[in-house]
Structure 1
Amino acid sequence: MPLSTPVSRRALRHSRVIDVQAYVRDDGLWDIDARITDIKSYDATLASGPRPAGTPLHDLHLRITVDRELTIVEAEAASDAVPYPGFCDTIGPAYSALIGLNLLKNFRRDLKQRLAGIAGCTHLTELAQVLPTATVQAFAGDVWSTRDGENADLSHEKPFQLDKCHALRTDGGAVAQYYPRWVAKV
């Protein structure tokens, strides 16, 4: 279902795009490549100089490599467009601080402890916050069985996705319909 029709005419002024792609590697590890891009629809004047409409203010990349337990074993960041060239684009090496963190074990808290404020880039650190759910989506059905479809009720283990969101709560209709074995008994 789409959003409602806007109540007033409007003009696009800013666009932020976040893109995350997950790749399985030949060595069994996974690369998660994330990118954030900010673009103004008008000519903008920054302290560092003018930016023509359509030119990225931010074009930042973050790659983490994770094992099958979602522990980060490699991390790197790169900046193709920044508002303060020669300054913003020097923070990339700091993102090696992500190595050793686990995407499922207090990742967002630990990320902020390591890279918040002047220890990191606001935009790269914000981008990193989407990595846990994006990686879970990549692993679902590929690394982790979601036990969907015909064999959903053959396993003795509760599917990992149950009770992780509103729709898949074990006392709800979706679980009753698609995972009847796991409906919570009241």
Structure 2
Amino acid sequence: MPLSTPAARKHVHTRAVTFTGYEREDGLFDIEGHLVDTKTYSFPNQDRGEIKAGEPIHNMRLRLTVDEEMIVRAVEAVLDDSPFNLCCTITPAFKVLEGMLIGPGWNRRVREKLGGTKGCTHLVEMLAPIATATYQTLYPILKQRREAQPEDERDKPSMIDGCHVMDSSGPLIKERWPEYYKKPEPVS
């Protein structure tokens, strides 16, 4: 369903962000993010002279290589375009993510290690959705492994109680994972 018809307006800015997950032949996974900002008009820039309409202001890529436990094994950050020549000097700082687990507390730990002047705002912004893309990439593999385990050794699926559809007292959990279903508490 499309959005409603907007008021009269003029296109000014576009931010395109994509995330792609890959399964590698060596058993690891690459999760890549790509962010591009463009304007619909040209404007002067001290370091680049002029940034023309449609030319990227920001064009940056981030790759996290993770294992099946979602531990970051390698990080690569690249800035193809940025508004300042100095922007690219921060990319090595993102190696601090190596060894971190993508899981509960990820966003907090990322902000502690790369927030403010310790990182690049735009690359840091990409790290929350890249964590989600990591989960989406690995979920089918983890699900298959979980289903291969004896029922009494299976862990509770991590998405339960993660959103309104996955409410442990909702119909989806009752149907899909009845062993984790909880009857709704009576409303008083």
Q: Same fold (TM over 0.5)?
A: yes
Q: CA deviation at 1:181?
A: 5.0
Structure 1 gaps of 5+ residues are none
Moved more, 135-144 or 119-128: 135-144
| 8 Å CA contact 2:32, 2:130 repeated in 1 | no
Aligned partner of 2:51: which letter? R
Once the two structures are superposed, the pairs formed by residues 96-175 of structure 1 within 5 Å of their partners are 96-145=95-144, 155-156=151-152, 157=154, 158-175=156-173
Using the aligned pairs only, state the percent identity. Answer: 35
Aligned length: 179
SS, match of residue 141 in structure 1: helix
Q: CA deviation at 1:116?
A: 1.1
- List per-residue Cα deviations over 1:67-89 (Å, max 9, x = no partner): 1111101111001000012x011
Coordinate RMSD, CA, aligned: 2.1
* Aligned counterpart, 1:61: 61
- List per-residue Cα deviations over 1:23-52 (Å, max 9, x = no partner): 111111111111111011111233433211
| 8 Å CA contact 1:70, 1:102 repeated in 2 | yes
- List per-residue Cα deviations over 1:119-174 (Å, max 9, x = no partner): 11111111112121111111121233498xxx8xx945443322111111121233
Structure 2 gaps of 5+ residues are none
Could you tell me the TM-score, scaled by structure 2's length? 0.85
| 8 Å CA contact 1:145, 1:159 repeated in 2 | no
* Aligned counterpart, 1:9: 8
How far apart, CA to CA, are the structure 2 residues paired with 1:160 and 1:118?
A: 33
How far apart, CA to CA, are the structure 2 residues paired with 1:35 and 1:50?
A: 23
| Moved beyond 4 Å, runs of 4+ | 177-181
Aligned partner of 1:89: which letter? C
Moved more, 68-77 or 47-56: 47-56
Q: CA deviation at 1:178?
A: 4.5
| 8 Å CA contact 2:64, 2:75 repeated in 1 | yes
- List per-residue Cα deviations over 1:93-131 (Å, max 9, x = no partner): 111011011110421111111111111111111111212
| 8 Å CA contact 1:16, 1:39 repeated in 2 | yes
Aligned partner of 1:163: which letter? D
How far apart, CA to CA, are the structure 2 residues paired with 1:160 and 1:70?
A: 13
